[in-house]
Amino acid sequence: MHKILTTSIAYISNLMFFSGLIILMTISAHGSLAAEIGLVYSIVFSITQIFSYNVKSIILFDKNKNFANEVVNFRIFFGIFICFFGFLILKEYKINFSSNKIIFALIFILVQNWLLEIYLIISEVNKSYKVIRLYNLCIFINIILVVINILLFQNKFLLEIFFYIIFINSFFIILFFNFKNISYFNFFSVFNSVTKMFSLGSSVSIILSILFWRVFIYMHVEKEIFAILFSSFSIGSFPGSLLSNILGPSIIKNKLSMIFYLRIYFYITTIIGIFIFSLVDSKILNFYFTNNQLFFIKTINYSILGSPLMLFSIIYRLEYFYLNKKDRNYIFKNDILNSVIISLLPVVLINFDNGYIILLYFLASLISFVMNYFLYKNLKTL
């Protein structure tokens, strides 16, 4: 059990570090910089996740080390391209960022984390836990430094902390690196089958729908409101990201049932959500919070109400994925259709009434739940 916890902490830290940073900066009145980091994070993270969404499930479920090495080759090549392209954009175009150095350091770290993710997966397959524990220790130090910097030094040393993280990440990349695996520089063998192309299409649709959300909202609301929405959706989606990208594959592979616990979580979030809405409607909270803070509370509440629906949806999807290796194309096609529908939500909500944008994650969770539930029911009837 402790080994599962060790790897889970590493995946969580790798995946959610910057979401946590943005939330902390938003709460600490650094909303403008948080919005800039949130936008760039969304773009770069979305680009990398296009080629990542189904990777962990394929490697862990199938124990496919050759595929893992193919992924490493591609991420090295494409990561260099992302950094180079990001550098050119920041140098040639006058984008109104607070600090181009912070933004480029962010891009570089995101690429490093993307590469480190696959090394962590390979380490889990190989049962190499000592390096993962060391990685967890360094991540813990990074978190402490970020918290101290924001709470005690008003975020003055963020760039220096980013440089430190780049150095630590470089150490682990060198530690994991095996030149023999890229000796042939076959960067695109990862796409050498129809199934993998459908998997890519699934990833593209899911990630682009999320990216479209964030860019569209950024263009239609103030920076402070965008930071609130980004942070709220991140909090609401955290359990889903945790289950889908980290815990879910291991839970399904080991045939552990989550439905009972998800029902308990659903009941708890519903009761708490109703209680919070009753406080807001009674105007009690209005005496203690500003309008933006109340907006933050409402958006978080709706997002958390959507989280159990998304968890059910993810479990249904992973069950189908694990039990139907030969028919995974069906779930990839379902992902694409689901993403297209969800992509239209912010456009509809903002054009209908800006105030309904707080429902975005809840409605997306509901749609995903319905679509994956019917896919799961089809599995049960086969």
Whether residue 38 sits in one domain with residue 172: yes
Whether residue 162 sits in one domain with residue 254: no
For residue 74, tell me if it sits in a domain.
yes
Whether residue 291 sits in one domain with residue 172: no
What six digits make up the tokens of 181? Answer: 């695996």
Prediction pTM value = 0.65
33 Rama sector, left if φ>0, alpha if ψ -120 to 50, beta otherwise: alpha
Whether residue 265 sits in one domain with residue 182: no
For residue 204, tell me if it sits in a domain.
no
**Cα–Cα nearest to 136, from 5, 4, 13, 1:** 13
Whether residue 100 sits in one domain with residue 34: yes
Gyration radius (Cα) of the chain, Å: 21
Only one residue has tokens 């570089």, namely: 108
**Cα–Cα nearest to 33, from 115, 155, 141:** 155
> pLDDT tens, position by position, for the chain (382 residues)?
466 677 778 888 887 788 888 888 888 878 788 888 888 888 888 778 776 656 666 676 666 667 777 777 788 888 888 999 888 888 877 777 878 888 999 999 999 998 888 888 777 777 777 888 888 899 899 999 999 998 888 888 889 999 999 999 998 888 776 655 554 455 555 555 444 544 555 666 666 777 777 778 777 777 777 777 877 887 888 777 777 666 666 666 666 677 888 889 889 989 988 888 787 777 666 666 777 777 888 888 888 898 889 888 888 887 777 776 666 677 777 778 888 888 888 888 877 776 778 888 888 899 989 988 887 777 655 5
Which element (helix H / strand E) includes 353?
Answer: none
Question: What is the DSSP secondary structure assignment for residue 93, as one 8-state letter?
Answer: S
Whether residue 179 sits in one domain with residue 31: yes
What six digits make up the tokens of 186? Answer: 């076959």
Cα distance between residue 334 and residue 345, in whole Å: 17
Residues 6 or more apart whose Cβ sits within 8 Å of residue 50: 200, 203, 204, 207, 208
* Number of independent structural domains in the chain: 2
For residue 56, tell me if it sits in a domain.
yes
For residue 41, tell me if it sits in a domain.
yes
Q: What is the structure's pLDDT at 194?
A: 42
For residue 218, tell me if it sits in a domain.
no
| Geometric angle at alpha carbon 358, from 357 and 361, rounded to 5° | 95
Contact between 155 and 25 under an 8 Å Cβ cutoff? The reply is yes
Final residue before a domain boundary, out of 135, 169, 192: 192
What six digits make up the tokens of 302? Answer: 């709706």
Packing angle between helix 130-153 and helix 158-176, nearest 10 degrees? 170
Distance of CA 139 to the CA centre of its chain: 17
Q: What is the structure's pLDDT at 178?
A: 61
Whether residue 187 sits in one domain with residue 244: no
Question: What is the DSSP secondary structure assignment for residue 244, as one 8-state letter?
Answer: I
Cα distance between residue 220 and residue 233, in whole Å: 17
| Geometric angle at alpha carbon 292, from 272 and 236, rounded to 5° | 40
Whether residue 165 sits in one domain with residue 267: no
Q: What is the DSSP string of 260-280?
A: HHHHHHHHHHHHHHHHHHHHH
For residue 311, tell me if it sits in a domain.
yes
Whether residue 245 sits in one domain with residue 329: yes
Q: What is the DSSP string of 36-72?
A: HHHHHHHHHHHHHHHTTTTHHHHHHHHT-HHHHHHHH
Domain that holds residue 172: 2-192
Whether residue 186 sits in one domain with residue 59: yes
Whether residue 177 sits in one domain with residue 248: no
Whether residue 153 sits in one domain with residue 263: no
For residue 213, tell me if it sits in a domain.
no
For residue 231, tell me if it sits in a domain.
no
